[in-house]
Amino acid sequence: MAMLGAINPVLMAGLNGDDSWRLKDYVARGGYEQLKRILQTGMTQEDVIGEVKKSVLRGRGGAGFPTGLKWSFMPRSFPGDKYVVCNTDEGEPGTFKDRDIMRYNPHAVIEGMIIAGFAMGANRGYNYVHGEIWEIYKRFEEALDEARAAGLLGQNILGTQFGFELFAHHGYGAYICGEETALLESIEGKKGQPRFKPPFPASFGLYGRPTTINNTETFASIPFILKMGGEEFLNLGKPNNGGTKLFSVSGHVNRPGNYEIPLGTPFSTLLEMCGGMRGGRKLKAVIPGGSSAPVMPADVIMDCTMDYDSISKGGSMLGSGAVIVMDETVCMVKALERLSFFYHEESCGQCTPCREGTAWMYKVVHRIENGQGKPEDLDLLNSVLGNIAGRTICALGDAAAFPVQSFLKHFGSEFEYHIEHKTCLVPKDVQWAGSGFHKIPA
Amino acid sequence: MFSADTLQKFAREVAKYPAEQKQSAVMACLAHAQEEKGWLPPEAIEAVADYLGMPPIAAYEVASFYNMYDLKPVGKYKITVCTNLPCALSGGYHAGEYLQQKLGVGYGETTADGKFTLKEGECMGACGDAPVFIVNNRSMCSHMHPEQIDKLLEECK
Ligand SMILES: Cc1cc2nc3c(=O)[nH]c(=O)nc-3n(C[C@H](O)[C@H](O)[C@H](O)COP(=O)(O)O)c2cc1C
Ligand code: SF4
Ligand code: FES
């Protein structure tokens, strides 16, 4: 199913599961009309960027940077190849929205990228697709073939002077390639190791050419923004937080899945849409924006609305919109152990503070979880944290530190309990029951 | 070294990139090579490098950087289980344990008959469908509770 629930949906409106992703369905929903309008009524690049700015669309990949502003950094009249790159690497634990956008509305991504190409004077684009979603990648390639056959891609689009080529690039299992400069290295056929910035991609990007990278959901929003007008899109959300957004809800709710809701919707409403807590249990904590966002205790998130500003005021980040819900059956030490393992595994190893720091964090949390923690371990973790912040090439170092810092801050007593009693506060069978895993047949 | 079908796939990938940037196709070509051979023996990596006109060492670097390439032989069915936190909250660990019990091997191991290799994986971007597996890098399996796991293993002939 495309969406388990929605309030005023935009990106996912009018979809009918697997039956409505094709070009003809998208066109029937008004698709490619905005591209036509732009090319056939003589809209300028400034007009398009102006509309995106008005919408206050903020990047949906994690950082929430205003898209219109990012687009205005591209040196549009710089001669030669310029690139637009879509980030469908979606590896941030908890995030599965881009997969559904690509699965059910791939042409919205394509139209958004073509319009972006026009607005920034770019003539080529790539969409970098997460390695694990082969079927979605294949479908996207089919959608590209459809667009090409209809004259929506290639030279002289819709009989105009404007040309734009677009291809899909399939990843093969590396979280770090979601970082935009690692992604560019990866498209160039190298190891996905982030580049030093500056220079920024707008001046030195793919193959050293000016490049703009946006998330899948960001591009997919573009045709709708042009259709309804920037101002109306903005008004769907709240000031400084324009539009609707997809939230991927996972963990201890009755109906995990994707939900498209206006930014500014109360967290409690989203939780209700998910059918409430599994088994009616009590909410303990929520990671609101993918595993790299600081964890929030139940009482704090229950007072928040789902938008960049409210979640940031509550001490976390809206990030990719991946809402990981945890109830009282969760052992916070074990939860953090798994996240720390992930960052340790996925660190690309270029910077010593990140490579060594993520290894240390995992080692220490692992031993606490396994009853071998020492009283001084919590101080040790804090000192490792201090050595990572601000000392790395890319944000993975910080992303690894945020969970540790926030888990210790809000749930430190559980770590102390583990160290003192060499076991968990939450019995193993309670943790099992909380997972909802079916009983193994005898 | 490669079948005509695989070579055709290589050509299709190379065509996606500017003429002087053939190396960009290395990830896709390695993936297709692995699809044909079952894993990536050194000769296959070298042949891909040769095809793309890049130094073999550069192709090795790529093959060893990305998790989904198999630089050692794997079973006929490679099952990767997501155990990252969002999945673990909905049974990811237990699904992996059940699979280990049924197959009698741990993560990173292959059954004696060479049929199954088990791997622990990271977020597959499908956390709402937990527990999730991927078979042979391509086929995603959702909601893998004991009944579904039994069925999957039966279907792997
Ligand atoms: C370690 C790391 C992983 C990231 N993973 C993703 C990802 O999977 N998808 C994504 O869109 N952005 C990801 N980002 C953010 C990108 O670097 C980039 O900011 C984003 O794609 C820009 O698009 P936006 O402005 O539309 O959000 C990641 C960043 C870091 C540091
Ligand atoms: S911070 Fe970590 S992941 Fe990022 S470049 Fe440095 S070592 Fe690599
Ligand atoms: S955590 Fe398992 S698919 Fe995301």
DSSP H or E stretch at residue A213: strand A211-215
Residue B59: pLDDT band with limits 50, 70, 90: very high
Q: Do the Cβ atoms of B89 and A175 come within 8 Å?
A: no
Q: What is the pLDDT of residues A351-396, one digit of tens each?
A: 999 999 999 999 999 999 999 999 999 999 999 999 998 899 999 9
For residues B21-31, average pLDDT: 98
Distance A310 CA to ligand 2 centre (A): 29
In whole numbers, what is the pLDDT of chain B averaged over residues?
A: 97
B4-65 CATH choice from 1.10.10.1590, 3.30.450.20, 2.60.200.20, 3.90.1570.30: 1.10.10.1590
Pairwise CA distance, residues B124 & A96, whole Å: 8
Chain B residues close to A140, C-beta within 8 Å:
none
How close does chain B come to A47, measured CA to CA in Å? 30
The pLDDT score that the predictor gives to residue A442 is 61
Cα distances (Å, whole numbers) of residue A204 to A71, B95, B109: 15, 45, 43
For residues B10-32, average pLDDT: 98
Q: What is the pLDDT of residues A300-320, one digit of tens each?
A: 999 999 999 999 999 999 999
Q: Do the Cβ atoms of B94 and A186 come within 8 Å?
A: no
Pocket mutation for ligand 2, best pick of A92, A176, A180, A402 (most atoms within 8 Å of C-beta)? A176
Neighbours of A153 (CB within 10 A): 22
Here the tokens at position A439 are 């009983």
Chain A residues close to B94, C-beta within 8 Å:
432, 435, 437
Pairwise CA distance, residues A94 & A75, whole Å: 35
Peptide bond into B41 cis (omega under 30): no
Chain B residues close to A257, C-beta within 8 Å:
128
Task: Report the percentage of chain B scoring pLDDT > 90.
Answer: 99
pLDDT of B117 higher than 80:
yes
How close does chain B come to A371, measured CA to CA in Å? 19
Nearest Cα neighbor of B118 from B77, B70, B71 is B77
Q: How many CB pairs under 8 A join A and B?
A: 186
Pairwise CA distance, residues A60 & A69, whole Å: 14
Ligand 1 residue neighbourhood (C-beta within 6 Å): A 59-63, 65, 87, 89-92, 176, 178-180, 213-215, 218, 394-396, 399
For residues B117-129, average pLDDT: 97
Pairwise CA distance, residues A279 & A277, whole Å: 6
Chain A residues close to B16, C-beta within 8 Å:
126, 167-169
ipTM over cut 0.95 = yes
Q: Do the Cβ atoms of A95 and B126 come within 8 Å?
A: no
- Nearest chain A residue to B13 by CA: give it: A169
Chain A residues close to B84, C-beta within 8 Å:
93, 291, 338-339, 342
* Most A CBs within 10 Å, among B10, B27, B137, B144, to test the A interface: B27
Judge if the beta carbon of residue B87 lies within 6 A of ligand 3.
yes
User: Ligand 1: which residue has its CA nearest to atom 10?
Assistant: A61
The pLDDT score that the predictor gives to residue A173 is 95
Q: Given A95, A175, A435, which is nearest B89 (Cβ)?
A: A435
Q: What is the pLDDT of residues B47-57, one digit of tens each?
A: 999 999 999 99
Q: Do the Cβ atoms of B125 and A98 come within 8 Å?
A: yes
Q: Do the Cβ atoms of A174 and B30 come within 8 Å?
A: no
How close does chain B come to A231, measured CA to CA in Å? 32
User: How many DSSP H helices and E strands does chain A contain?
Assistant: 18, 12
List the CATH code of the domain at B77-156. 3.40.30.10
Distance A430 CA to ligand 3 centre (A): 22
For chain B, what's the residue count?
157
* Most B CBs within 10 Å, among A166, A437, A439, to test the B interface: A437
Q: Among the atoms of ligand 2, which is closest to the Cα of residue A346? A: 3
How close does chain A come to B114, measured CA to CA in Å? 23
Q: What is the pLDDT of residues B71-110, one digit of tens each?
A: 999 999 999 999 999 999 999 999 999 999 999 999 999 9
CB A174 within 8 A of CB A190: no
Q: B27-30 long-range contacts, Cβ below 8 Å, gap at least 24?
A: B27/A169, B27/A170, B27/A171, B27/A172, B27/A186, B27/A189, B27/B62, B27/B66, B28/A169, B28/A170, B30/A172, B30/B59, B30/B62, B30/B63, B30/B69
Pocket mutation for ligand 3, best pick of B67, B81, B87 (most atoms within 8 Å of C-beta)? B87
Q: Do the Cβ atoms of A130 and B23 come within 8 Å?
A: no
Task: Report the percentage of chain A scoring pLDDT > 90.
Answer: 94
Chain A residues close to B25, C-beta within 8 Å:
189
For chain A, list residues with pLDDT below 70.
Answer: 1-2, 441-442
Give Cα B18 distance to the centre of its chain. 28
Q: Where are the domains of chain B?
A: 4-65, 77-156
Give the number of whichever ligand sits closest to the CA of residue A132: 3
Burial call A269-286: b when 16+ CB within 10 Å, e when fewer: ebbebbeebbeeeebbbb
